[in-house]
Amino acid sequence: MLKGKKALVTGAGRGIGRAIALTLAAYGADVAVNYNGSREAAEQVVKEIQALGRRAVALQADVSKEDECRRLFEQAEEALGSIDILVNNAGITRDNLAVRMSEEEFNAVLDTNLKGAFFCMKQAGKRMLKKRSGRIINISSISGIRGNAGQMNYCAAKAGILGMTRCLAKELAARNVTVNAVAPGYIETDMTAALPEKVSTAALSQIPLGRMGRPEDIAEAVAFLASDRAAYITGQTIQVDGGMGI
């Protein structure tokens, strides 16, 4: 489905990003595995991708810094060739009630989750416009659609990603480049594992399918949007949330 394609996945050392990188590789793509601090985890993902018979490279970059995003794309191209698929997955949380949230907590999340996606879309967009093809998939969240108490910064960033997705989709469509988003619900990751039990129980009660999702559920949606099967889909958001958004 993705044979011969070159993908760059940000925040791919663990959780959803790891699953996306491995799934794209399983469908035939070579993958640049971006990480910020988890070098060992990223290198393990690279080994697993190579075991699938695909090429992979681990690349460190803090996506909240534009110069590092520029360097990230240059290194990915040097290692793998022209990037066909960008998946903006890198993200952090700094949860707090709005009345207690510091400016640092607010800015840190927007810098990584929102500005980081913008910087990477900017780099990918320039390249994809020139070659008249490409796929950009942004990982948002059900929280960016419904809101979530204690996560004003995170929800603002994830809602912003949906707006940027629609804008860039209109800007790049004429050159055969699609831009879409995936909005996960509650997924089994290190992030959700750290939630208090009462929060997890409350979340499960809102999911019609009655369970948390798996990172692979998100990865399969991303792989579809990255493929030719989704060639006529752009500016859209797929909610992979077990029915929470119904």
Question: How many CB atoms are located within 10 Å of the residue 193 CB?
Answer: 10
Q: Alpha-carbon dihedral of residues 110, 6, 12, 26, nearest 10 degrees?
A: 140
Which DSSP string do the residues of 158-222 spell out, in sequence order?
Answer: HHHHHHHHHHHHHHHGGGTEEEEEEEE-SB-SHHHHTS-HHHHHHHHTT-TT-S-B-HHHHHHHH
232 carries an active-site annotation: no
Task: State how far the alpha carbon of 78 is from the alpha carbons of 81, 175, 194, 233, in Å.
Answer: 6, 24, 38, 30
Q: Considering 27, 35, 154, 186, which one is annotated as catalytic?
A: 154
Q: What angle do CA 178, 225, 124 make, to 5 degrees?
A: 45
Whole-angstrom distance, CA of residue 123 vs CA of residue 50: 26
> Which residues are catalytically annotated?
154
